[in-house]
Amino acid sequence: MKKTIVATMMISLIAISSLGFKNGTSIQQGGISASVTRGKTVYAQYCLTCHQANAAGVPRMTPPLIKTKFVLGDKKQLITIILKGLTGEVEVGDDVYNGTMPTLKALTDQQVADVLSYVRNSFGNKASAVTAAEVKSVRAKIKP
């Protein structure tokens, strides 16, 4: 009898804990679909002017966000670019871009996660979502 109760409690705890997370994002935050939707709003406010509505960027100035290693590659590098900004030459494919991306460190961890999840899953891109916890971890390692 005791084994049955313990087993039932364990199964219940596993079921309850699995409801809290989906694909590494909290369901309280709405999951990846909600993150991408929120990210589209952040993109429109902070990124669209330079990277354009179609994410193609501006020749020789702002790199595209379409199927590039910066977007689809290491999430920590991408988060760092958002939090620290980027200045100087950037080579994407055979093209060189030389502009300045301002820091967006004033955005919350959730906003950064949302906009990066949006970019990584829009414009023909398909990559894993970025979580607020990942952003928080990278932010903690960046010196002010």
Residue 121 forms part of a structural domain: yes
- Secondary structure of the chain in the HEC alphabet? CHHHHHHHHHHHHHHHHHHHEECCEEHHHCHHHHHHHHHHHHHHHHCHHHHCCCCCCECCCECCCCCCHHHHCCHHHHHHHHHHCEEEEEEECCEEEEEEECCCCCCCHHHHHHHHHHHHCCCCCCCCCCCHHHHHHHHHHCCC
Quick check: 16 pLDDT over 90?
no
Task: Provide the domain limits for residue 71.
Answer: 25-141
Q: Dump pLDDT digits (tens) for 73-130.
A: 999 999 999 999 999 999 999 999 999 999 999 999 999 999 999 999 999 999 999 9
Q: What is the pLDDT of residue 56?
A: 97
Residue 132 forms part of a structural domain: yes
Q: What is the pLDDT of residue 30?
A: 73
Quick check: 19 pLDDT over 50?
no
Residue 10 is encoded by which pair of tokens?
Answer: 């364990």
- Contact yes or no for 101/49 (Cβ under 8 A): no
Q: What is the pLDDT of residue 27?
A: 31
Q: Dump pLDDT digits (tens) for 37-67.
A: 999 999 999 999 999 999 999 999 999 999 9
Residue 14 forms part of a structural domain: no
Q: What is the pLDDT of residue 29?
A: 56
Residue 1 forms part of a structural domain: no
The CB density around residue 7, as the number of other CB atoms within 10 Å, is 10
Q: What is the mean pLDDT of the chain?
A: 84
- For the entire predicted model, the pTM comes to 0.79
Residue 9 forms part of a structural domain: no
101: domain CATH number?
1.10.760.10
Residue 77 forms part of a structural domain: yes
Residue 65 forms part of a structural domain: yes
Confidence label for 31 from pLDDT (cuts 50, 70 and 90): confident
Q: What is the total count of domains within the chain?
A: 1
Residue 10 forms part of a structural domain: no
